[in-house]
Amino acid sequence: MESTLLEQFLLVSHPNKKGYHFSPLMVELLHLVADVPKDILAQTKILPRTLRRYIPFYAAHKGGGAITLGSDSWHSITFTENFFSTDQELFDGRAYANDLNSWLRMAAHEAGHLNHATRYKFLIIYLFVFAYQYLRYGHDAAPLEIEAELGNKKLKQFQVYLHRHQGPQYLHQLILSEAEESKKIERLKSVWNEFVLDNNKVSV
């Protein structure tokens, strides 16, 4: 994969060079917005879709998507190939390797499914529950999809808060900063705590 914002700031290469893991900053951010344990996020394998592993079935040139698989002992998220590319012509303007918003929002949603995989313990049970809910309710109305989308909604709320109090590009600037990862995580946790306090004042 070419050197992109994705490769530089959001993911780190898996030791065997087959796939990636979330960067420490992404682990912290997804932990906060999706309420997923950090150890699960840290060990989740991030994979690009390939001909041999052709899931999910979304059309990449229409925006693509991702699928989360796993159990109580392993987890993976596979993204369609447009999420790893900068070739806008090939993917009809939907190549997202340098599009932080598209990556953050898809990751915030998929992270919610990691909790589901852990909850049902076995991949076959996890897939059965999903299949049943999709057939009964449809994709968007399936309870597990609604639950997973809470992470994306919380991310958007956080971004709105940062836009008002820190500036419109604050989260992007923090991610792209050349500061040490530990310093960026420290700052992220600080502004998150401010966000939570602000929300608590509004709800009182």
pLDDT at 63: 96
Crossing angle (nearest 10°) for helices 24-34 and 181-203? 10
Q: What are the phi and psi torsion angles at 89 (to 5°)?
A: -65, -45
Helices of type H across 17-74? 24-34, 38-43
Q: How many residues does the chain have?
A: 204
Q: 89 near 60, Cβ under 8 Å?
A: no
Q: 32 near 192, Cβ under 8 Å?
A: yes
pLDDT at 199: 85
User: Hey, CA dihedral for 146, 34, 104, 150, is it positive or negative?
Assistant: positive
pLDDT at 128: 96
| Peptide bond before residue 56 is cis, with ω within 30 degrees of 0 | yes
pLDDT at 2: 54
Residues contacting residue 8 through CB under 8 Å, at least 6 positions apart: none
User: 10-residue block means of pLDDT along the chain (204 residues)?
Assistant: 83 83 98 97 96 93 96 97 96 96 97 96 95 92 95 97 94 96 97 93 62
pLDDT at 200: 83
Q: Which of 132, 92, 108 is nearest to 32 (CA)?
A: 108
pLDDT at 1: 46
pTM of the predicted protein model = 0.93
pLDDT at 18: 80
Q: Which of 19, 15, 36 is nearest to 147 (CA)?
A: 36
pLDDT at 3: 79
pLDDT at 177: 95
pLDDT at 137: 94
